[in-house]
Amino acid sequence: MTNLFSPVTLRGLTLRNRTVVAPMCQYSAQDGFANDWHFVHLGRFGIGGFGLVILEATGVLPEGRISYGDLGLWKDEHIAPLARILDFLHSQGAAAGIQLAHAGRKASTPIPWRNGFDETEEEKPLVGFEHWQPVGPSAVSHAPGNPHFQTPVALDKAGIHNVIDAFVAAARRADQAGFDTVEIHAAHGYLLNQFLSPLANQRTDEYGGSLENRIRLVLEVTEAVRAVWPEHKPLLARLSVSDWAEGGWTVEDSVVLARELKARGVDAIDCSSGGFAEAKIQSGPGYQVPFSRAVKQGADIPTMAVGLLGDPQEAEQIIAGGDADFVALARAALDDPNWAVHARHALGASDYDLWPNQAKRVRERDRSLGLRSFAAST
C-alpha cells in the first residue's frame, strides 16, 4: 500500500486515504443556501475516491461572506441542504468537512466572473444580490486603490464577541448537519488572519500589538468551537503560514500559533499562505510544501500540504518524506474530479476497489485497451 492511500485516523474519524479536496468558493449560493450546483460539484469528489471533502468558506454571519454568493451557516435553515450533500458523500465512502469563515474587510466583494458589481436591477433579485459594509480589526482597507474593497468598520468588543458566538453557533449547526470535521479559516487575509497580521491589525487594545495579543481572537474562537464540537470529531485550522510580505506574519509566528492551537484541541493544520495585497508570492508546483514541513516539525502536529499540487508521485513523496500527513487539491480536483482513483493507479494499484460500483466498467475498458494494470510489461 502506498503512503498516500493508506488510511489515517484523527480522533474518532478514520479517512480511507490522505487525499483531500480543499475548500473552493463557488459563489453560487443565494442567502447562504446550498443548491444543486453544490450537490453535483461536491458529490463527484466522493465518487472520485477522495478521503476528505471540505466545503468552501462558509459564512458564520451574513456579513462574513466574501460575496453574496457564498455558502452560509448562520441559521438553522441552512442545515438541511448541506445534510443532503453529506449523505451522498458518506454513501461514497468520503468524509466531509466544512470551512467556517468570516471574510472581515474582504467581505462584500464582487462575484469573480462578473465585471465588478455589474448586476442590473432586474438581475439582482434573480441572483440574490446583496451589498453591505464590512468589518475588520481596524478601519483599514485591504487595497485602498481598489474600489471593490471598502474601508471596514473596526470591530468593538461587542462585535468581537458576536463573531466568536457566531463561530460557535455555526459549529453546532455543522454537527447537526453531520459534518465529520470543521476547519476554522484563519488564512488568506480574511478576518481571523487580519487579526493575526500586522499588515491589517493596527489595534492598541488586547487584540493588537504584540504577537500574544494578535493571536488572541483565533485562540478564543478555537477554544469556544472546541468546547461545543464533539470530542470524537477532529478540529482543523487553516493558516496562511506566511504573508509573503515585509513586516507581515511569518513562518515562525505560525509555528508559535500552531503549538497554541494544538494545546487547545486542534488536530491538524491546513498550511496555505498569502492573502494580503502586499504579498509578493513566489508560486510554483509544491511551493507551499515547505510551510507544511515547518509547521509539522516545529509544532509537532499533523499538517495538510496544499497549493499547485497534482502529480501523484510528488503527492506520494510529500507523505512518505514526512512533509505533511495529507495532500489537498483544489484546482487540480476541479480539473480531474477522479484524481484520487487515477492517482492510485499511477502509484501502482492493480485493483479497482476505490472506484464506485457503478463505475467499475472502467476496468473492462482498461482491459480491452491494455491500460493501467493491463498494460503490456516491457
* Mean pLDDT in residue range 197-224: 98
Catalytic positions, written as ranges: 190
pLDDT the model gives residue 89: 98
Q: Which domain holds residue 78?
A: 8-347
Whole-prediction pTM: 0.95
Amino acid in the structure at residue 254: S
The answer to the question of residue 320 being in a domain is yes
CA angle 221, 19, 334 (to 5 degrees): 90
The answer to the question of residue 98 being in a domain is yes
Asked if residue 378 has pLDDT above 50, the reply is: no
Going by C-alpha positions, the residue among 89, 88, 97, 32 that lies closest to residue 58 is 32
DSSP for 126-177 reads: HHT------EESSS--SSTT-TTSPPPEEP-HHHHHHHHHHHHHHHHHHHHH
Asked if residue 117 has pLDDT above 80, the reply is: yes
The answer to the question of residue 354 being in a domain is no
The answer to the question of residue 362 being in a domain is no
Give every CB contact of residue 184 below 8 A, 6+ residues apart in sequence. Answer: 100, 167, 192, 218, 221, 222, 225, 235, 236, 237, 238, 266
* Mean pLDDT in residue range 212-232: 98
Give the CATH number, domain containing residue 301.
3.20.20.70
pLDDT the model gives residue 222: 98
259-274 pLDDT per residue, tens: 999 999 999 999 999 9
The answer to the question of residue 373 being in a domain is no
299-334 pLDDT per residue, tens: 999 999 999 999 999 999 999 999 999 999 999 999
8-32 pLDDT per residue, tens: 999 999 999 999 999 999 999 999 9
| Strand, helix or coil for residue 317 | helix
The DSSP secondary-structure symbol of 64 reads G
The answer to the question of residue 363 being in a domain is no
The answer to the question of residue 188 being in a domain is yes
The answer to the question of residue 3 being in a domain is no
Asked if residue 377 has pLDDT above 70, the reply is: no
**Total tally of structural domains belonging to the chain:** 1
